[in-house]
Amino acid sequence: MTIPEPCGHDSPMENGSMEMPCTPEEERRIVEELTAKAEANLREGNLYYVISSRWFMAWLRYIGKIEDDYPFDSHSVGPPSVAPSNAKDRPGPMDNSGIVMNGVENKNEDLQLLRNLEERRDYVLVPEEVWEMLLKWYKGGPVLQRKMISIGEQHAQFSVEVFPVQLRLIDSRDQSEAAIWLSKKASLLSLYEKVCQLKGLDPQKVCIWDYFNKQKQTILISSSKTLEESNIQMDQDILLEEPVDGSTEDSTGNSLAMVPVEPIRSTYSIAGGPSMSNGHSSSYNSIVPRQSLTYGDTEDGHDGLKPVTRGDRGLAGLQNLGNTCFMNSALQCLVHTPHLVDYFFQDYSDEINKQNPLGLRGELALAFGELLRKLWSSGRTPVAPRVFKGKLARFAPQFSGYNQHDSQELLAFLLDGLHEDLNRVRQKPYIETKDYDGQPDEEVADEFWKNHKARNDSVIVDNCQGQYKSTLVCPDCDKISITFDPFMYLSLPLPSTATRSMTVTVFYGDGSSLPKPFTVTVLKQGSCKDLDQALGIACCLPSDEYLLLAEVYEHRIYRYLESPSEPLAAIKDDEHIVAYRLPKGGADLTRLEIYHRYQDNESKLFLTPLVTVLEDPQSGADIYLAVERMLSPLRRKEFVTSIRIDDSKENGSSSSTPEEQMNTCTGQLGPAIQSMEEVEGDEVSSKDFIFQLCITDDNGYSWNPIMKDSPIKPGRLTKSSLEWTEKEHEFYDASSVQVIPEVHKSQIFASKTKQEAVSLFSCLDAFLKEEPLGPDDMWYCPQCKEHRQASKKLDLWRLPDILVIHLKRFSYSKWLKNKLDTFVDFPIHNLDVSKYVKNKDVSEDSYMYELYAISNHYGGLGGGHYSAYCKLIDGNRWYHFDDSHVSPVSESEIKTSAAYVLFYRRVKLNSNGTMGESSEDHWAMAFLAHASKCDGKCDGCGTGRAIDIT
């Protein structure tokens, strides 16, 4: 792509600070082309520049890129003076001074961003070419340059490293401290060079220790090994020492040569093979006794010789490595899952899959297993999961930094990674998709599950995966497609997020009654079919009528909502939706739209349009009769009474019959109005009909008066209008059609009240209810050979022993992510989900579950915090795991509105069908019996023996 030169003037502006390009449109074109070119050439090492969002959004408004207000303008960091008062004003020089940490004037240090900044809210990243162009046009600064790096291994991604690793350098000679910044991809050689340059030392005559938690972990040898590979964390300490005669001393005073020193740890890995420095075993076959991690283990914060009592097992916290509370919460729930504890305490070396390209060659599973054992054998001493975090980042690069993430998202990636690392299938077979039309569901489901297990077979599949029945129905040809898909967890919408309250005004197409507003509750992701059904029930719609939905805008029918599959998401809360009750009929019915106009201003409409149907109208007389019928409910009482009296006198009768009076009140043609043939002359008598009626074409550009003998052009739609004067207002009360309510009126100034509790079962109901697919998730119908917005219905078919339930508290919009703090009332004991399981042939399985762990999220989105409630496997006791802090909690306290991910385990059935002891209780007894045999000297068990729970 050829990028044009900017057409700015050579001479600067009067203040000498900026060049003036041609137009805002020219600036926009140049920057967009430069951005597109940079995005097409992404590679590691590309330079990007940080710009304050406050200035950048002002520039975007100036060039016409955005028109609405940026929602973070009042919250973003930076001098407010850079934001122009007029969106079309050209912004001043770029000003990044408000987002840097150590000031503009400090030229001796790299400028770093404030640590609480968020991308888009506080800053944006632009390619080098864009920065150079903006700097040429606007000047300003300071310059904040960042590099693009590659993160992850199996699923590598490009990412701009906005926040380099900050380290606290401690000089052992004088105990002075200094802060240094390096990329996580920087080598240990670069670390030595930077430290020695700062201190004026020879890199060959010093050594640097990994001084995590103020304890010597390992010597960092000057090499090409990166900080990331060395498990160096943000904000941790490193220790500078000058060795004497080429050696240094460890924390116990022993002289050590300048070689890598691994922390004191067991000789053998948990899987049974010799442990390597990277946590990966070189052999998975030898099973030999291993030393206890309980005594003398000093890695990641352990104090050394500290015996663990039986009552302290499983009560170790996890250190926060920098916004890692989300990870700690999910990990505590998993390491207190009995099935996983049982598995990782045994020898699982034979199941490590080193060939699976979808995993991490077993390294993630090994790191998790080591961490699990450490947590169960460390007493109450917190553990820092540095090695595990590094392995996880290589598998899921999005977790490599120090930003807050979602505990459920991490849980999903971690379970998937553990499954791939432990997949017993070494060569996945190719399985061709078959057509299962006409076969029983049980046979099809078993076939799907068999095919799934042929490619995916691990401890995660055994215990954590279930099966859905998914039914898709084509809205055009009614083609039904049924599949049976595996799932790892259930993501349940909260009813307040799954449903929506909508107010629709129902008009009676036969003129039998005044319009009435109805408020109904429908699925937020539902369709017009759902709204139509809910309204039909609310207004007692008879079987011979249907509802015609329409949007009214500026007193016109803006559009009809006639497609049943049209998503309700297309209807905004501030819109006005009406429904016309019309009789079901054939194709020969003509729809008549009736609009209202001021006689002195023909172009101005008011009131709400009325709609009725006519059967083969021939002349204006048919239109007049239909309009009079529709207006009859609007007549004022005194006007109706006067007509009755006058008509009775003319007919020679002093009163009308009850039937005639009822017909008059309900708008049917009674004595007040007979037929149009009785009306003499070209105009209708003011006693019977006082309006001037006009008619127009479908476009509605011009209105022409219509008489009773005017011919009507045949068609499916006829538009007419009534001209209102003060006289008409005397006879008709139009208040009921003057203002119709919005779909939903937000209570902006309403006081915030306590939200009612929502049942977990109502969340399940909302999750399993039929709903249409979104416009971006169309289904290809094999019968229509087209993509269709099919309706989808999920059913539970097969449930796992470990049932993980995710409550969808977060929603996303254009700029923001919102959280719902609704209290969900979930069972702790005896969660019975049998009624939701469609497979009734699996009688040997229990559908009763017990809660054993909860991942909680507290507070808002920017400064939120995660913790966990876990039930200890060796007793009926609950504990609160809040990073490093662990404290007991009563069962009555674990139900809160912070509950985010719920962990349930299946309760086994006895042979007679009654509930017996849980697998958790059975495991706990076996664990304690095993531990007692080892006299408390194993780490459950550090001898390499498997726990027998058979």
pLDDT at 900: 95
Amino acid at 907: V
User: How crowded is the C-beta side of 764, counted as CA atoms within 13 Å?
Assistant: 17
Q: Give me the mean pLDDT over the 893-915 stretch.
A: 83
Compute the Cα dihedral for 601, 602, 604, 608 and give only its sign: positive
For a pLDDT cut of 90, what percent of the chain falls above it?
35
Q: Is the pLDDT of residue 126 over 80?
A: yes
Q: How far is CA 678 from its chain centroid?
A: 67
User: E strand or H helix at 551, and its extent?
Assistant: strand 545-553
Average pLDDT over residues 85-89: 57
pLDDT confidence band for 259 (50 / 70 / 90): very low
Q: What is the pLDDT of residues 427-451, one digit of tens each?
A: 888 888 777 777 888 989 999 999 9
What is the identity of the amino acid at 738?
Q
pLDDT of residue 481: 87
Is the pLDDT higher at 744 or at 22? 744
**Average per-residue pLDDT for the chain:** 77
| Residue of higher predicted confidence among 398 and 234 | 234
Q: Is the pLDDT of residue 78 over 60?
A: no
97-115 tens-digit pLDDT? 889 986 444 444 578 888 8
Cα-only R_g, the chain: 37
Q: Does residue 722 contact residue 553 with C-beta atoms inside 8 Å?
A: no
Whether 27 has a pLDDT exceeding 80, the answer reads yes
Measured CA to CA, the distance from residue 57 to residue 66 in angstroms comes to: 8
Is pLDDT above 80 for 142? yes
* Residue 813 confidence (pLDDT) above 60: no
**Least trusted range by pLDDT, from 408-412, 538-542, 739-743, 812-816:** 812-816
Reported as a pLDDT band with limits 50, 70 and 90, residue 169 is very high
Phi, psi of 349 (to 5 degrees): -60, -35
Distance from C-alpha of 754 to C-alpha of 752, rounded to nearest angstrom = 7
Taking the C-alpha atoms of residue 40 and residue 395, their distance in angstroms, rounded to an integer, is: 25
* Residues with catalytic function: 325, 865
Q: What pLDDT does residue 59 have?
A: 92
* pLDDT value at residue 928: 47
Q: Which residues neighbour 853 within 8 Å (Cβ) at sequence distance 6 or greater? A: 332, 333, 336, 337, 868, 869, 870, 871, 902, 903
Q: CA–CA separation, 870 vs 880, rounded Å?
A: 7
Average pLDDT over residues 479-485: 89
Does residue 800 surpass a pLDDT of 90?
Answer: yes
Residues 6 or more apart whose CB falls under 8 angstroms from that of 641 comprise none
| Residue pair 255/243 in contact by the 8 Å Cβ criterion | no
Whole-number pLDDT of residue 291: 31
Q: CB 765: neighbour CB atoms within 10 A?
A: 14
How long is the chain?
950
Read off the pTM.
0.66
What pLDDT score does 586 carry? 63
- What stretches of 17-101 show up as alpha helix (H) in DSSP? 24-39, 53-62
Lowest mean pLDDT segment, chosen from 758-762, 770-774, 886-890: 770-774
pLDDT at 680 over 50: no
Contacts of 890 (CB under 8 A, 6+ apart): 878
pLDDT at 11: 39
Q: Which element (helix H / strand E) includes 129?
A: helix 128-138
pLDDT average, residue stretch 545-560? 91
Q: Is residue 187 predicted with pLDDT exceeding 60?
A: yes
- Quote the DSSP letter at residue 804: E
pLDDT tens digits for 216-238? 989 999 888 888 888 888 888 99
| Structure-model confidence comparison of residues 151 and 875, the more confident one | 151
Exposed/middle/buried for residue 628 (C-beta within 10 Å: 0-12, 13-18, 19+):
buried
| 3-state secondary structure string across 780-792 | EECCCCEEECCEE
Helix (H) or strand (E) holding 369: helix 363-377
